[in-house]
């Protein structure tokens, strides 16, 4: 019998790696903007509530007396351990637009990975050069020919899509570890008037300003909405797995239950995550003189990355990368 090799989604519904299907709408991102009255503080609050509630839910699952186990991804497991199924290949081709984090965010993410790996040595870590945040998933789990056809149809719009962040700038702040039974991510919130921390961004605030909306009025959710609209002008239907108020970079996935196979280990894991989040809030969120900066503007250093192929774990190939600033 051929095993079901779709990544585990039933046990994991945190929304950071897997989650519910997108709600039908002309543009599903517009609904949240309307819900927040197009106000950055309210949009930020929706994102914050989502990640806080999800973490609380996952905490309960890890610490439950009837703990059901980790949702280990069978595809990644086979890719990392070829002896399980010699010759196995991931055949799920995707088409996406990624936001690539600037170097200072990669530095922070790598530090967080170190802290997590110290607590759970068997974690699989996303390589630093593959780190990304999915701004729009056009489609997933297709054949190479299907992806090739879609790429040919959207190709005229790819330059505008990848360069949109040069003139439509959205800021992200307040990093926090978000987790579920499948993976661990660092998630951010759309900015809403917080003090600018990055010297680079501070200089630009007093110099050129090309944002579509002054200040933080143009949020990351607005960017996602506009990328969706621009993609739809090509006639290609967006087939995302989910649409959620989340801006996250996957840091790690579980490949074995060994680090979490007792109640004591799971309790220690949750304590580690909560300690990291406390450190982020007190030492990173508002600190412009510390070693780490947790703020970034999407498009900083790199525009959006139009990417296709077997990219579930940061792979695939770049079709075009947008201009950074």
23-27, 101-105, 129-133, 254-258: least confidently modelled range: 23-27
CA angle 58, 59, 61 (to 5 degrees): 60
Q: 96 in a domain, yes or no? A: yes
pLDDT digits (tens, 9 = 90+) for 160-179: 999 999 999 999 999 999 99
Tell me the residue range of the domain where 264 lies: 28-321
**Angle, helices 40-63/28-35, rounded to nearest 10 degrees:** 110
Q: How sure is the predictor about 259, in pLDDT bands with cuts at 50, 70 and 90?
A: very high
Give DSSP secondary structure letters for 156-175. Answer: GGHHHHHTHHHHS--EEEEE
CA separation, residue 309 to residues 99, 120, 150, 193 (Å): 17, 30, 12, 38
Helix (H) or strand (E) holding 94: strand 93-99
Q: 5 in a domain, yes or no? A: no
pLDDT digits (tens, 9 = 90+) for 79-95: 999 999 999 999 999 99
Q: How sure is the predictor about 104, in pLDDT bands with cuts at 50, 70 and 90?
A: very high
Q: 147 in a domain, yes or no? A: yes
CA separation, residue 32 to residues 103, 148, 219 (Å): 30, 32, 12
Q: 186 in a domain, yes or no? A: yes
Q: 21 in a domain, yes or no? A: no
- Cα separation, 306 vs 151, in Å, equals 10
For the chain, how many structural domains are there in total? 1
CA angle 228, 229, 230 (to 5 degrees): 95
- Cα separation, 239 vs 225, in Å, equals 14
Q: 169 in a domain, yes or no? A: yes
Q: 234 in a domain, yes or no? A: yes
Q: What predicted TM-score, i.e. pTM, was given to this entire model?
A: 0.90
Q: Which residues contact 18 (CB under 8 A, 6 or more apart)?
A: 7, 8, 9, 12, 180, 182, 241, 242
Q: 19 in a domain, yes or no? A: no
Identify the CATH number of the domain in which residue 315 sits. 3.90.1140.10
280 DSSP 8-state letter: I
């Amino acid at each position: 019998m051929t095993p079901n090799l779709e990544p585990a989604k039933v046990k994991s519904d945190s929304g950071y790696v897997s989650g519910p299907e997108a709600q039908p709408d002309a543009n599903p991102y517009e609904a949240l903007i309307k819900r927040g009255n197009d106000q950055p503080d309210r949009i930020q609050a929706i994102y914050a509530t989502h990640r806080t509630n999800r973490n609380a839910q996952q905490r309960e699952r890890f610490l439950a007396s009837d703990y059901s186990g980790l949702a280990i991804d069978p595809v990644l497991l086979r890719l990392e351990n070829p002896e399980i199924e010699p010759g196995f290949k991931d055949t799920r081709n995707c088409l996406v637009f990624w936001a690539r984090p600037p170097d200072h965010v990669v530095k922070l993410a790598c530090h967080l990975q170190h802290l997590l790996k110290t607590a759970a040595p068997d974690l699989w870590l996303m390589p630093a050069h593959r780190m990304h945040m999915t701004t729009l998933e056009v489609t997933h789990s297709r054949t190479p020919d299907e992806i090739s056809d879609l790429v040919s149809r959207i190709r005229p719009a790819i330059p505008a899509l990848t360069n949109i962040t040069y003139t439509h700038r959205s800021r992200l702040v307040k990093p926090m570890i978000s987790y579920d039974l499948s993976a661990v991510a660092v998630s951010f919130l759309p900015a809403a008037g917080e003090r600018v921390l990055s010297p680079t961004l501070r200089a630009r605030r007093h110099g050129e300003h090309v944002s579509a909306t002054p200040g933080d009025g143009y949020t990351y959710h607005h960017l996602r909405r506009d990328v969706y609209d621009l993609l739809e002008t090509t006639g290609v239907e967006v087939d995302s797995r989910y649409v959620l108020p989340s801006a996250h970079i996957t840091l790690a996935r579980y490949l074995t239950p060994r680090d979490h196979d007792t109640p004591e280990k799971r309790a220690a894991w949750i304590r580690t995550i909560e300690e990291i989040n406390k450190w982020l809030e007190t030492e990173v969120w508002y600190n412009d003189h510390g070693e780490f900066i947790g703020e970034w503007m999407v498009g900083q250093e790199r525009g959006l990355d139009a990417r296709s192929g077997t990219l579930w774990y940061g792979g695939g190939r770049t079709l075009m990368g947008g201009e950074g600033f």
